[in-house]
Amino acid sequence: MEMIQRPRRLRRNPVIRSMVRETRVSPDSLIYPLFVCEGKGIRHEIPSLPGQYHYSVDTLQKAAEETLQAGVHAIMLFGLPGEKDEKGSGAYAENGVIQRAVRELKKNFPELFVITDVCLCEYTSHGHCGMLRGCEVDNDATLPLLAKTALSHVQAGADMVAPSDMMDGRVAAIRRTLDQNGYTDIPILSYAVKYASSFYGPFREAAGSAPAFGDRKSYQMDFHNRREALREAALDVEEGADILMVKPAMSYLDIVRECRDAFSLPIAAYSVSGEYAMIKAAAARGWIDEEKIVCEAAAGVFRAGASILETYYAKELAQFMKEGRIG
């Protein structure tokens, strides 16, 4: 049988497979999420996220050192305050847990790129991402507090802020506030496309951010919608976002690709807590090869068009990349 086209010629051995690989990844593309809480000497494993921990500000320093040693140079901080109130005042307190954590990290590890999550859900007594008017989240009343939170993080030394609340107009409010205070060079990583997803369950336990009533479907996106994602992303581009995030990653790779094709900004994807927990659970039972699954899932995110991946497996992935197990 005569065949001119034989795709297998380019799969014959590892050298040629690597040579023609379409998707190439680097530890520089990874962001590692970390949870910081009040107290001292705390390093408590999160039950639903095996291998992930709650750190107090002092123990967070060791975690940051280990992250850098693994080859990951960017982290995202999520805060757990000691007290909560209806206005989420711990989010923008000058001496809040995130503000203190950022100052210590930048003092001890100036080379570490520190990104902060900007949202109120961890800080409000009701667990919603904004101010309430009755039982509804008041979009416009929330914007000044989000901007105030972002500014307080940047004043503490944050290198980038990442609003995850899904309030309309929050990127513009944050950009305006940062610019007015002289922080024109601080980028915004916008959770531009954040779906109301069941994959967030373990995170809500980890961050203590489950809503006390109702759900977040009035502000996070309906997972049935694709065109709406592009509208949300386009609005954030107009408002001054520098990077667009799609969240979650695994079930939304089509949206990652849509955003990659539609926008020139870098596209990030967040492989969320539920994805991590499912892999951990299956691996613990011997049903899957954890390393191979992690590498395959990450490659899928980059293949879909993401240039940045936020993942609880960031340290392991960095090691796999160094060893050539994912290229």
d(CA 227, CA 169): 19
- Which residue out of 62, 107, 148, 194 is catalytically annotated? 194
- Which residue out of 247, 280, 315, 322 is catalytically annotated? 247
Does a cis peptide bond (omega within 30 degrees of 0) precede residue 248?
yes
d(CA 325, CA 14): 11
Which residue has tokens 């954590």? 101
Which residue has tokens 């990104």? 115
Burial 286-300 (b: 16+ CB within 10 A, else e): eeeebbebbbebbbb
Question: Angle at CA 140, nearest 5°, toward 220 and 255?
Answer: 25
Catalytic status, residue 194: yes
Cβ contact 245:191 at 8 Å: yes
Question: Angle at CA 97, nearest 5°, toward 96 and 99?
Answer: 65
Structure tokens at 102: 């950022």
Q: Which of the residues are catalytic?
A: 194, 247
